[in-house]
Structure 1
Amino acid sequence: MTADADFDSLVPAVPFNRRSFIVTALGAGFALAVQPVSAKSVITTDSKGLTAGEIMIVKADGEMPAYRAQPATGGNWPVVLVVQEIFGVHEYIRDVCRRLAKLGYQAIAPELYARHGNPQQYSNVQELLQRVVSKVPDAQVMADLDACVAWAKANGGDTGRLGITGFCWGGRITWLYAAHNPQVKAGVAWYGKLVGPTSELTPSQPLDVAGKLHGPVLGLYGGADQGIPLASIEQMRKALALAPSAASRASTIHVYDGVPHAFHADYRASYRKDEAADGWRRLQAWLKQHGV
């Protein structure tokens, strides 16, 4: 099983209780659970010409830290929400935001685990899943992403051109958010799981909302991903093709044959340079095609 693959069978459902933020600032570097980092392949995007750094998203129960990157000049930028892997908003996710900002986007990556614990401090993946990830309700995530959209609208972003992208855990969230928010123009989901058990915290999986997308989603998946069977991808393709929603029918999934999970994660051994670069080109074309 990959480090951030399907974890539903590993942890019990935890009741959704409102709680305040316990993480009030983003950490630095890479999460402990991904050490040692494959330094030779790490992509580092500078902040020259950008405004980049930590911001605070105000919620009724406190302030949620997030990373924001955008061009240093101008305004009215299209907005892309960037949704983390299980490891939180560590350096890889922040770099993805800077890459998007270099393309002219306002990119925002909220620390969606901030009420439950600091994902960067755990060196053991199973402990991270049990103590933090398993406690995060989908409804809370949707509301937190909505708050990021509101922040963007008040701070130079053009939320009429709203996109979302996410990786693994965030790939699943990308599908769900495209069904949640009518403002979403397009999404790009990187190897997010599509089917699985449901619970009070995770009442729907992407397959369950396949017919309800507001903006079309491009799915980018590895054919050798041990945590996401090809059969589940075919299920999703069929559901999209038969959906009543035009955005659902416009969605598509591209599978890279023989490629593992997390092939875009340049700091990990799973990284596949050519497929990652091709996926990034597809992301750019998809967002532009759909008005983001």
Structure 2
Amino acid sequence: MHQTDAETQCLLGAVNTPLTRRMFAVTSLATGFALSTLPVSAQTITTPAEGLLAGEVKIPVGDGELPAYRAQPAGKGPFPVVLVVQEIFGVHEHIKDVCRRFARQGYLAIAPELYARQGNPAGISDIQTLIKDIVNKVPDAQVMADLDSTVAWAKANGGDTARLGVTGFCWGGRITWLYATHNPAVKAGVAWYGRLVTPGTALQPMVPVDLVQKLNAPVLGLYGGKDSGIPLEDVDRMRAALKAAGKASSEIHVYPDAPHGFYADYRPSYRPEEAADAWKRCIGWFKANKVG
């Protein structure tokens, strides 16, 4: 079948070409864990959904609908809102469980599948292929807009977006820093081991260390001292940038012996002691900054 230039451009994921509903590669969330994370550790935590309103929802966006996982208390709201931004593996079982953990703390937690147009991360078994074929093709501008749409959905469905927080892990840790510069409604962010100084690309030009002056809210960074992908030099540079920008309300806590992914209980990188302490810091940060 012959394709026009416009159709070809759209299929290649050009940022400025609107996608139709038929172009969404992911229309519902994966079940279980992403293939590239298997086998799952025996330490994996499962948070029950009893007493919660939890499950898949659809987020209207300009070119279709994003699948998302939402968890909140079953009682009457409105509830403070936490955007939960996925790891590179997409919205798989761990991210869903994190949403339920927040819901048990009284939040409406929602995690949109931010790769929905680019591909299904759950079905890819090789991490490098996942990064090349999907992760690197997701535009920053698209992510910011999709998170805005998620906030609008939360506001219309029992969420109090005057108490809005954002948190994310790995890929989502970087996005947490960025969204806190993008949306002035954000009251606080918690970034778990997200990239800080990696140079931008044409599709992903935003670099957290270069945008600290634009932070709309305090961000807590949670990092591992033995993270091979985010050296302590990067953390020190981010701390210096925050200080120079007069953003003393943001801070970074480093766990000296923790690797990347220390909160991911389904993976060998999990460190129970550091993870438990970081979770307490996360919840405390949100409550101290009017998200809760």
Are 2:262 and 1:263 equivalent residues in the alignment?
yes
User: In 2 relative to 1, CA 165–108 (structure 1 residues): closer, same or farther, beyond 3 Å?
Assistant: same
Partner in structure 2 of residue 87 of structure 1: 89
Are 2:276 and 1:277 equivalent residues in the alignment?
yes
Look up the SS of the partner of 1:70 in the other structure.
strand
**Quick check: 1:222–1:258 contact (8 Å CA) kept in 2?**
yes
Deviation of residue 144 (structure 1)? 0.2
Superposed counterparts of 1:1-292, under 5 Å? 15-18=14-17, 19=19, 20-38=23-41, 40-244=42-246, 248-292=247-291
Look up the SS of the partner of 1:189 in the other structure.
strand
Q: Distance in 2 between matches of 1:128 and 1:154?
A: 34
Q: Distance in 2 between matches of 1:46 and 1:136?
A: 32
Look up the SS of the partner of 2:248 in the other structure.
helix
1:42 alignment partner AA = T
**Quick check: 1:15–1:201 contact (8 Å CA) kept in 2?**
no
Q: Deviations over 1:75-113 (max 9, x none)?
A: 110000000000000000000000000000000000000
Deviation of residue 131 (structure 1)? 0.9
* Consecutive unaligned residues in structure 2, runs of 5 or more: 1-12
1:76 alignment partner AA = P
Look up the SS of the partner of 2:128 in the other structure.
helix
Q: Distance in 1 between matches of 2:200 and 2:102?
A: 33
Q: Quick one: higher RCO (CA 8 Å, sep 6+), 1 or 2?
A: 1
Deviation of residue 17 (structure 1)? 4.7
Look up the SS of the partner of 1:41 in the other structure.
coil
Q: Which has the larger radius of gyration?
A: 2
RMSD (Å) for aligned C-alpha atoms = 1.2
**Quick check: 1:44–1:95 contact (8 Å CA) kept in 2?**
yes
Partner in structure 2 of residue 3 of structure 1: none
Deviation of residue 249 (structure 1)? 2.2
Look up the SS of the partner of 2:290 in the other structure.
coil
Per the normalisation by structure 2, the TM-score is 0.93
1:35 alignment partner AA = L
2:280 alignment partner AA = R
**Quick check: 1:15–1:200 contact (8 Å CA) kept in 2?**
no
Q: Distance in 1 between matches of 2:14 and 2:130?
A: 18
1:283 alignment partner AA = C
Look up the SS of the partner of 1:79 in the other structure.
strand
Percentage identity across paired residues of the two chains: 64
1:254 alignment partner AA = H
**Which segment is superposed worse, 16-25 or 44-53?**
16-25
2:261 alignment partner AA = A
Q: How many residues align?
A: 276
Per the normalisation by structure 1, the TM-score is 0.93
Deviation of residue 16 (structure 1)? 2.5
Partner in structure 2 of residue 5 of structure 1: none
Q: Give runs of ≥4 in structure 1 deviating > 4 Å.
A: none
Q: Distance in 1 between matches of 2:116 and 2:16?
A: 14
